[in-house]
């Protein structure tokens, strides 16, 4: 083939010239953009590109000791309207603005009515006025509805005219938040803690104490606008927070809360506290803090159990007698003279509670605690330690009474046990006898129960534990071990004497009402006047009544303190807190948590657990893992998505029966747990109000009733 240069070369020349002209055109345009339009395009870049946009991590859950969900995050939204259309091309922007205004005008009634159906608390007229006002003011971030809304409500808003369009086109957009929800309502709410709603940051309780675990790590992205569409490009993905498994037992917490509130209402108490601990581990199984509010109802306002610095009163007498026994100043077989119930102590009169009846006279050391004799305890301590009060205080610290414990909960108080050498001139001769009976010393209730827990635990003092494990995707990634504060608070012989005396306090002394017929209880009553404005005054006197102990006496499994602040008489730790202690103890023991499951088993028994109604797919998974025979009435045996329905225990098998209630109708949630019931009802647009714990026994809207979206349904659990 011959190369014809006369024909080919001109063609190459033309191509080269065209390419050169094209390159020159691009170069000139680039120079023009860099030099002439630089400021304009920098401004456009700021609008169309967003750097370092944080991606929120999902906050971890807080679980009960048996894995039930106590606190979880659910998405909530704030919805806005942008009334100004934007585009680089002014003609295109004007066209979009005209279309948006036209649709808004034409569909204003249906949009307003639709919003009213979703949010019944605001009328359609009010929504119309609000939207028209935002358009008139030409706002770009006009709040459509002032409150946060659920995901279901947000999806319903997206079905309305104009709102269904993409944000750039229709102007409707949202801001997402993570809202913490508690399926068990107010149960242990102060201990679990809360978040600052506006910041989604931890505020108090375990939420704050374990915030570094729960909050996870934010990711980073940048956003760019390409062809009128925002694209989020992830630079660093977020790391979701881990879960924490608490030591709290839901049923014990519920029993403690109900027993305390019942007594507070009965005696018109101001503040009530219960702390229930597992003896061997220090696990806090229940912690209740109730304060009377202005409306007369009791709510958890403050974590009084760990923060209240109050004089403990007579529950402190056990520690005083333990010091004297350990130092060999007295023996359990000794006696002490208490006279007629009044005794002069360095110019002040010490009184026993029965001084008007003539006092106790000469009583034994066990009787001193059994009858909670102020004179008996103060005389023992003053007689043997008045020349060396520092020795007595050293004994208290030796027992662990004054040792700070750095508890998990923020705001925890620390014991204030006075020292003669440290206080110097502020230490008077009356300080020692009054200190020995629980005055001039401030100790939070949880420190008192920790001391009694050590007595029950063979002398080993363990730190109260609120969280036992960190979890990721259902697997334990870290365990929080039991922390020992003191291996031994006293000698075995002293411990044995104290244990025998504390049992007598309940069986024969002032603590009888704390006892139970089915098992033995040990503990000590407490009644103390509360100092007001620097002193103790007659009139509307305030008292702290309490009972602290453990059960069963022979093999202690749980320790507990019940403390109530109240105004006026009568005030009795044994008479008013003892019954609450007894009710809690019986609820715990009836549950049978201390027994082994095989105690009542025989060779042919098949133990089938009670299965709640609700998510049958989840129930099936658990039953299969336990090797329990089951029957189901739907075809696809391998389906993994939730199947809702009822269960029936047939003795050795469980039947799973599917419920096909259509979405427009209210489902029957009886027998379901709180989580499944809330999901099934909120899925249909109902607002759920929970009361109680356990499984659903009543719902305020009958099953198969037509759903009215946004309407509240009350469900009672028991």
Q: How many residues does the chain have?
A: 718
Q: Which band of pLDDT confidence, cut at 50, 70 and 90, is reported for residue 552?
A: very high
- Report residue 462: phi and psi, to 5°: -115, 150
pLDDT of residue 594: 41
Query: Considering only 524-528, 559-563, 681-685, which range has the smallest mean pLDDT?
Result: 681-685
pLDDT of residue 629: 75
Out of 193-202, 230-239, 327-336, 590-599, the most confident range is 327-336
pLDDT at 414 over 70: yes
- Written as one string, the DSSP assignment of 384-435 is HHTT-HHHHHHHHHHTTTT-----SSTT----EE--HHHHGGG--TTHHHHH
- The CA distance from 649 to 651, in Å, is 6
- The CA distance from 668 to 704, in Å, is 7
Owner of token pair 């390409």: 226
Kind of pairing between the strands at 172-181 and 271-278: unpaired
pLDDT of residue 566: 93
pLDDT of residue 42: 58
- Report residue 178: phi and psi, to 5°: -100, 115
pLDDT at 32 over 70: no
- Report residue 223: phi and psi, to 5°: -115, 135
Which tokens go with 550?
């453990």
Domain residue ranges in the chain? 47-68+184-246, 79-175, 250-591, 614-717
Query: Considering only 311-315, 455-459, 460-464, 531-535, which range has the smallest mean pLDDT?
Result: 531-535
Check: CB of residue 417 under 8 Å from CB of residue 402.
yes
Check: CB of residue 551 under 8 Å from CB of residue 257.
no
Residues ≥6 apart with Cβ < 8 Å to 22: none
Instruction: Tell me the mean pLDDT in the region 16-22.
Output: 79
DSSP 565: E
pLDDT of residue 595: 42
Check: CB of residue 179 under 8 Å from CB of residue 685.
no
Exposure pattern of 84-100 as b/e (b: 16+ CB <10 Å)? ebbeeeeeeeeebbeeb
pLDDT of residue 600: 34
pLDDT at 638 over 60: no
pLDDT at 222 over 90: no
Which tokens go with 137?
């003011």
Q: Which band of pLDDT confidence, cut at 50, 70 and 90, is reported for residue 614?
A: confident
Q: Going by CATH, does the domain composed of 250-591 fall within 3.40.710.10?
A: yes
Residues ≥6 apart with Cβ < 8 Å to 460: 454, 484, 486, 487, 488, 489
pLDDT of residue 622: 66
Query: Considering only 66-80, 107-121, 344-358, which range has the smallest mean pLDDT?
Result: 66-80
pLDDT of residue 596: 39
- The CA distance from 438 to 173, in Å, is 62
Out of 3.30.10.20, 3.90.640.10, 3.40.640.10, 2.30.33.40, which CATH number does the structure's domain 614-717 have?
Answer: 3.30.10.20
Out of 160-164, 285-289, 655-659, the most confident range is 285-289
Which tens digit of pLDDT belongs to each residue from 91-130? 888 898 899 999 999 999 999 999 999 999 999 999 999 9
pLDDT of residue 194: 87
DSSP 215: S
Q: Tell me the pLDDT of the chain averaged across its residues.
A: 85
pLDDT of residue 710: 80
Instruction: Tell me the mean pLDDT in the region 160-186.
Output: 85
Query: Considering only 24-28, 354-358, 454-458, 560-564, which range has the smallest mean pLDDT?
Result: 24-28
- The CA distance from 374 to 557, in Å, is 30
Residues ≥6 apart with Cβ < 8 Å to 36: none
Query: Considering only 324-333, 398-407, 464-473, 533-542, which range has the smallest mean pLDDT?
Result: 533-542
Percent of the chain with pLDDT over 70: 86
Please give the distance of CA 364 from its chain centroid, rounded to a whole number: 46
- The CA distance from 60 to 213, in Å, is 8
Instruction: Tell me the mean pLDDT in the region 424-441.
Output: 89
pLDDT at 563 over 70: yes
Out of 140-154, 557-571, 685-699, the most confident range is 557-571
* Segments in 527-643 forming alpha helices (H): 578-591, 616-625
DSSP 319: H
Burial (0-12, 13-18, 19+ Cβ within 10 Å), 279: buried
Which tokens go with 657?
């029966």
pLDDT of residue 239: 87
What's the half-sphere exposure (Cβ side, CA atoms, 13 Å) at 658?
13
- The CA distance from 452 to 408, in Å, is 20
- Report residue 541: phi and psi, to 5°: -70, 140
Bigger pLDDT: 39 vs 372:
372
How many CB atoms are closer than 10 A to CB 234? 12
Q: Which band of pLDDT confidence, cut at 50, 70 and 90, is reported for residue 40?
A: low
- The CA distance from 330 to 324, in Å, is 6
Which tokens go with 436?
């020995």
What's the half-sphere exposure (Cβ side, CA atoms, 13 Å) at 340?
5
Instruction: Tell me the mean pLDDT in the region 591-596.
Output: 48
pLDDT of residue 271: 96
Residue among 562, 316, 547, 564 nearest 417 (CA): 316
Q: Which band of pLDDT confidence, cut at 50, 70 and 90, is reported for residue 85?
A: confident
pLDDT at 704 over 90: no
What CATH topology corresponds to 47-68+184-246?
A: Penicillin-binding protein 2a (Domain 2) (3.90.1310)
* Segments in 438-519 forming alpha helices (H): 445-456, 492-507
pLDDT of residue 369: 96
pLDDT of residue 152: 84
Check: CB of residue 574 under 8 Å from CB of residue 514.
yes
- The CA distance from 484 to 645, in Å, is 47
Q: Which helix (H) or strand (E) holds 667?
A: none
Check: CB of residue 661 under 8 Å from CB of residue 684.
no
Q: What is the end-to-end Cα distance of the chain in Å, rounded?
A: 98
pLDDT at 319 over 50: yes
Q: Which band of pLDDT confidence, cut at 50, 70 and 90, is reported for residue 686?
A: confident
Bigger pLDDT: 46 vs 79:
79
Instruction: Tell me the mean pLDDT in the region 54-69.
Output: 86
pLDDT of residue 1: 53
pLDDT at 268 over 90: yes
pLDDT at 418 over 60: yes
Task: Return the CA Rg of the chain.
Answer: 35
The DSSP bridge partners found for residue 51 are none
Query: Considering only 141-155, 368-382, 527-541, 662-676, which range has the smallest mean pLDDT?
Result: 527-541
pLDDT of residue 601: 38
pLDDT at 453 over 70: yes
pLDDT at 19 over 70: yes
DSSP 459: T
Residue among 476, 567, 558, 552 nearest 520 (CA): 552
Check: CB of residue 399 under 8 Å from CB of residue 319.
yes
Bigger pLDDT: 245 vs 28:
245
Check: CB of residue 480 under 8 Å from CB of residue 209.
no
Which tens digit of pLDDT belongs to each residue from 648-679? 776 667 777 777 777 788 888 888 887 778 87
Owner of token pair 């374990």: 210
How many CB atoms are closer than 10 A to CB 203? 14
């Amino acid at each position: 083939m011959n190369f014809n240069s006369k024909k080919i070369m001109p063609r190459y020349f033309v191509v080269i010239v065209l390419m050169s002209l094209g390159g020159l055109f691009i170069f000139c345009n680039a120079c023009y953009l860099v030099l002439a339009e630089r400021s304009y395009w920098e401004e456009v870049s700021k609008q169309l590109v967003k750097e370092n946009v944080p991606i929120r991590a999902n906050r971890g859950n807080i679980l009960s000791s048996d894995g039930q969900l106590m606190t979880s995050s659910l998405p909530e939204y704030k919805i806005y309207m942008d009334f100004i259309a934007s585009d680089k091309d002014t003609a295109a922007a004007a066209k979009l603005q005209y279309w948006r205004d036209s649709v808004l005008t034409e569909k204003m009634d249906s949009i307003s009515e639709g919003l009213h159906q979703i949010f019944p608390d605001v009328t359609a007229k009010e929504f119309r006025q609000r939207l028209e006002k935002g358009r008139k003011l030409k706002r770009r971030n006009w709040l459509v509805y002032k409150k946060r809304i659920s995901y279901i409500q947000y999806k319903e808003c997206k079905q309305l005219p104009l709102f269904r369009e993409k944000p750039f086109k229709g102007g409707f957009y949202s801001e997402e938040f993570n809202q913490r929800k508690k399926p068990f309502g107010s149960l242990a709410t102060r201990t679990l803690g809360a978040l600052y709603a506006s910041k989604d940051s931890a505020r108090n309780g375990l939420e704050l104490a374990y915030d570094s675990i729960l909050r996870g790590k934010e990711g980073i992205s940048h956003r760019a606008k390409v062809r009128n569409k925002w694209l989020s490009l992830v630079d660093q993905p977020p790391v979701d927070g881990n879960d924490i498994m608490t030591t709290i037992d839901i049923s014990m917490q519920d029993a403690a809360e109900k027993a305390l509130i019942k007594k507070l209402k009965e005696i018109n108490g101001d503040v009530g506290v219960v702390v229930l601990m597992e003896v061997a581990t220090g696990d806090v199984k229940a912690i209740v803090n109730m304060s009377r509010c202005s409306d007369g109802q009791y709510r958890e306002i403050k974590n009084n159990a760990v923060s209240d610095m109050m004089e403990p009163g007579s529950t402190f007498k056990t520690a005083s007698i333990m010091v004297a026994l350990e130092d060999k100043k007295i023996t359990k077989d000794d006696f002490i003279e208490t006279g007629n119930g009044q005794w002069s102590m360095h110019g002040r009169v010490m009184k026993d509670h029965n001084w008007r009846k003539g006092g106790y006279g000469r009583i034994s050391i066990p009787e001193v605690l059994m009858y909670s004799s102020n004179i008996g305890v103060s005389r023992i301590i003053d007689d043997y330690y008045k020349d060396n009060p520092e020795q007595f205080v050293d004994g208290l610290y030796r027992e662990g009474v004054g040792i700070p414990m750095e508890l998990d909960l923020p705001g925890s108080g620390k014991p204030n046990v006075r020292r003669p050498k440290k206080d110097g001139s502020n230490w008077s001769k009356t300080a020692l006898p009054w200190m020995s009976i629980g005055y001039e010393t401030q100790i939070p209730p949880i420190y008192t129960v920790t001391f009694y827990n050590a007595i029950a635990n063979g002398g080993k003092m363990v730190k109260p534990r609120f969280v036992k494990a960190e979890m990721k995707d259902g697997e334990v990634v870290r365990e929080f071990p039991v922390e020992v504060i003191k291996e031994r608070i006293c000698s075995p012989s002293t411990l044995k004497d104290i244990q025998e005396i504390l049992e007598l306090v309940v069986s024969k002394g002032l603590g009888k009402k704390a006892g139970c017929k089915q098992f033995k209880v040990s503990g000590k009553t407490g009644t103390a006047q509360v100092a007001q404005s620097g002193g103790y005054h007659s009139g509307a006197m305030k008292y702290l009544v309490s009972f602290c102990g453990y059960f069963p006496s022979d093999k202690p499994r749980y320790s507990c303190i019940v403390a109530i602040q109240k105004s006026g008489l009568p005030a009795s730790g044994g008479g008013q807190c003892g019954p609450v202690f007894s009710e809690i103890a019986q609820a715990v023991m009836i549950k049978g948590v201390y027994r082994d499951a095989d105690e009542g088993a025989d060779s042919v028994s098949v133990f089938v657990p009670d299965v709640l109604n609700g998510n049958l797919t989840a129930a099936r998974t658990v039953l299969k893992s336990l090797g329990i025979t089951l029957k189901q009435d739907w075809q696809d045996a391998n389906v993994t998505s939730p199947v809702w329905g009822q269960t029936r225990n047939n003795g050795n098998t469980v039947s799973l029966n599917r419920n096909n209630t259509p979405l427009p109708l209210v489902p029957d949630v009886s027998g379901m747990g709180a989580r499944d019931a809330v999901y099934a009802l909120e899925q249909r647009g109902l607002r759920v109000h929970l009361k109680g714990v356990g499984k659903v026994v009543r719902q305020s809207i009958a099953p198969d009733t037509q759903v009215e979206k946004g309407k509240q349904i009350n469900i009672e659990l028991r």
